Amino acid sequence: MRHLLIAANWKMQGSQQMVAQWFAGFEQPKSSHPCQVVICPPFPYLQAVKTCIENKTIRLGAQDISDEASGAFTGQVSGMMLKDVGCDFVIVGHSERRLINQESDERVANKVLRALEVGLTPIVCVGETLDEHESGKTEAVVARQLGVVLSHLSTEQIAQCVVAYEPVWAIGTGRTASAQGAQEVHGFLRKQLSERDKKVGETVRIIYGGSVKPTNVHELVEMPDIDGALVGGASLDPHTFAEIITASE
Ligand code: PGA
């Protein structure tokens, strides 16, 4: 059985004060289903969030990782450092990094390897742009993005990953993929995983991201191949994020 995963991606937003206020306002819903909750704040606030989640079941995640292990790489943050400050997860290949920072599929694959090397769970993001969506290239794009990552990993390593399908046209736009539309892509990605290894196809979690809200999360996670959500904007408010967790059950 695949446990639900609800992850918050704060992106480049927040402050020390926001972290304190967020946790003062966040009441973790008592879940009847096992639901894993992950918070991914900006690097400078990892430690502050870690302190706030100490007595909770919430896990810490980072938003990016260097594809190098250590050395003269100004401004980069290594997997070892993320582990050192208490991260269990890391988002890799988010579309904002692929598009704004020109991260190639190869680079994303190397980052996934760095994460696995130190025992971090990579949340590997794939997703098509609006142009690609409208020209019917969704499957080709996500198959290529996931395929390059899979080609670098052993079956055991793939089993340690989470995949996130995030259509770029749905991120921060208020436009969500329909539950059925998202399911089709999730099913397609699961087939790709299964072709590599049947067990991996059954166990790897594939979560959805792109304008997830308390009002749409339920119909999404009800789909057979949608195992949770990666939440951007709506995770900045602790009450809304708690509502998303509740509604996902
Ligand atoms: P959004 O972002 O929920 O604000 O659309 C999702 C993401 O980019 O992970």
Q: What is the pLDDT of residues 180-224, one digit of tens each?
A: 999 999 999 999 999 999 999 999 999 999 999 999 999 999 999
Closest CA to ligand 1's atom 7: 232
C-alpha 230 to ligand 1 mean position (Å): 7
Q: Give me the mean pLDDT over the 128-145 stretch.
A: 97
Catalytic residue among 54, 94, 202, 219: 94
Task: Provide DSSP, 138-192.
Answer: HHHHHHHHHHHHHHHS-HHHHHT-EEEE--GGGTTSS-PPPHHHHHHHHHHHHHH
Token pair 């400078």 is found at 44
Q: Give me the mean pLDDT over the 1-21 stretch.
A: 97
| Tokens of residue 4, six digits | 């639900």
174 or 24, higher pLDDT: 24
Token pair 């190869």 is found at 106
Catalytic residue among 132, 133, 166, 186: 166
pLDDT of residue 133: 96
| Packed helices 138-152 and 179-196: angle between N→C axes, nearest 10 degrees | 30
132 catalytically annotated: no
Q: What's at 1, amino acid-wise?
A: M
- DSSP bridge pairs for 92: 124
195 catalytically annotated: no
> Any idea what DSSP says for residue 224?
T
**Contacts (Cβ under 8 Å, ≥6 apart) of 190:** 201, 204, 206, 225
| Tokens of residue 167, six digits | 């259509």
Spatial CA neighbour of 95 closest among 168, 148, 193:
168
pLDDT of residue 33: 74
Q: What's at 108, amino acid-wise?
A: V
The pTM assigned to this predicted structure is 0.97
